[in-house]
Every structure is written in structure tokens, then in C-alpha cells.
Structure 1
Amino acid sequence: MGDSTEAVVLLGEDGTPIGSERKDTVHGPETPLHLAFSCYGFDAEGRFLATRRSHAKRAFPGVWTNTCCGHPGPGEFMESAVARRLRSELGVGARALVCALPTFRYRAESNGVVENEICPVYLCRIEGDLAPDAAEVGEISWVDWPEYVARATRADSDVSPWSRLQVEQLQRWDLVERFLAD
């Protein structure tokens, strides 16, 4: 399903689903609260896959961020949505997929487009050969996690606002380090 017909789950302030709407009509200057996810993928050596959003994206074009983001469709299990998006954006599978931050929420604005999401954060091991979709991903970079943390926490960071907030919370509880140690 392409962006023009992809549906997102709308949420009430308490996080309960209240309906759905087409993704292309939801994201704008008055974006309602909706359900999303972020995923941080790691290889066998423990390196993190950072991605740079395509310059063709409406919101946050060309910004470095986590491995992938997306929205579960109405009735879709979150883990299935994460796996679907990893496959469609990067051509890879996920192993050991775990939800690290189940209640993460943020709001950010770029080019008149507001992101307003309850966005659980997942960690996984990436399987397969990368085949990025140029419409979604402009560039990829395998980096050591401490290097990405330093980049995301700099005052002049070029990392997406949601990833900066997520990194802060992931670090607070050593969630990535514990994930990689398993």
C-alpha cells in the first residue's frame, strides 16, 4: 500500500484507538495524535544502522535518524508492521525484535508538517543484505552505538528530534547495552 492509501491509527489523548485516516491526509500542520513506531537495528557485531531520510520526504527530508520508522495499519500487530517496514525500506529482516520504549510520545514540526505520535521504540538484529528504497532512504551508515549517542546528544545535532529524545531514554536505562549483551 503506498503513502496515498496507507491508513494510520488515530488515538485519543489516553492512547486508545479512536479511528483511522489516510496517512497522506493526516500529516500536515494540525496532525492528530496517531500510532507509529521507531526501530533501531543492529548487526552481528553490534553496530547500529543509522539512516538518512530521503530528500524527497515531506517531513524532515535529509535528516539522519534511527534505522526505520512507520505506522501500523488498523488491526496490524506492531511487530508485523516493524518487520514490514524494515523489509520495504531496507530489504532486510528482523531477529530478536523487542519493544524497548513502549510508551514513547513526541511532537515535532518540519516544513509545515507536524509529527504527533505515540511511537513505541523497538530494537532488533538485522538479517539479510541491505537494499534501501531510495524514495525512503537517502543514505545509510553503520556506526558504533556510542558514536551515534554522541552525535544525537550534541547541541548542534543533525539527528531527527524523535531520535534524539529516544536515544536519551534508551541511554537512561542502558537498554541498548542490555539488548546487545543478550
Structure 2
Amino acid sequence: MLRKMEKNEFEVFHQLLEDNFPKSERRLKHVQKRLLDLDSYNVFVETDGDDIVGFFAEWSSEAFRFVEHLAVNQKYRGSGTGSRLLKEYHDLSDVPVILEVEPPEDDIQQRRVKFYERNGYHLTPFGYMQPTLYEGETPIPLVLMSYPDRMTEAEFNTFKTWSHTTIYHPDNK
């Protein structure tokens, strides 16, 4: 069952974050830890003993929830865990969900998009270059997916403004 992560679980969470995301897609450890003090940032986890089965790191506003990072521990993959956790995450709130994916150009990227589509997400035509989270990194082209409804252009513009002033604000890098 998904629950809000306790601060004493940060080390296990951060290791899973490092195991599943390249350096360019995550923050420095001390910055990531500092985010836990923000009202608009939360991490939801499911645990099995000392293991984190999976997690959702989200930014929230009144209009939407943005999943910045989502991962399932390698030990628990392949048994429907990701889909089950997505359903549990959706059930936490009625607020629409937005997430970023790489444009579906290769097999892995296409499979990722198909996974989210099977779970009710809509690939949007809206994308941007993700601002870097590390000095010296290259911006990453990303497109958005939305749940439960298809995102409109007005919603995209609201999200983009909010994300660049909140998520990608220099204090949060």
C-alpha cells in the first residue's frame, strides 16, 4: 500500500533513485533531501521490510500532480507491480496527473509510452527541453503524458509556467 515516505527512509529511496535514473535526470543528494521540506513535494512509497518496492516523487498544485520520478525496484518488476502502484497512486487524489517521457523514438521509449497508455495516460503533442538539474548537463527533450484526460494547450501552458518557476527553479536544483 502506498504511503508518504518517512524522512528516515531517504537513503533507501535515494539509492533506488540513483539505480533507476541517470545523473542528468536527478538532483544532487543534498538538494533532493532538502525538497522533502517543501509542501509541494512528496514521495510516496510501498515497502516490503526494509526494501522500497516502488516510489512516486511528485510535485503538486491545486490543478495537477506532476510525477517527477517513478520507479519500481528491480526485484519486484515483471509481476504487474508498476500498474498496481499506478492505480494506487491515482486513487490518492482526484487531481489530474502529468508526467514526462522521452519522445517515443526507440523501442524502450515506445514501450514506456505504451505502459502508461495501458494505465490510462494520454500522450500529448506538448513537449519542451527539460531544464538541467546539474550544472554542465545537456537539456533533455521530453513530451508530456496526462491522466485521466488528454491535456489541452491551455493546461500545458499553465503547467509549463508552473514547472519552470517551481520544479526547475534554481533553488530546487
**Comparing both chains, which one has the higher relative contact order based on Cα–Cα distances under 8 Å and sequence gaps of 6 or more?**
1
TM-score by length of 2: 0.31
TM-score by length of 1: 0.30
Greater percentage in helix: 2
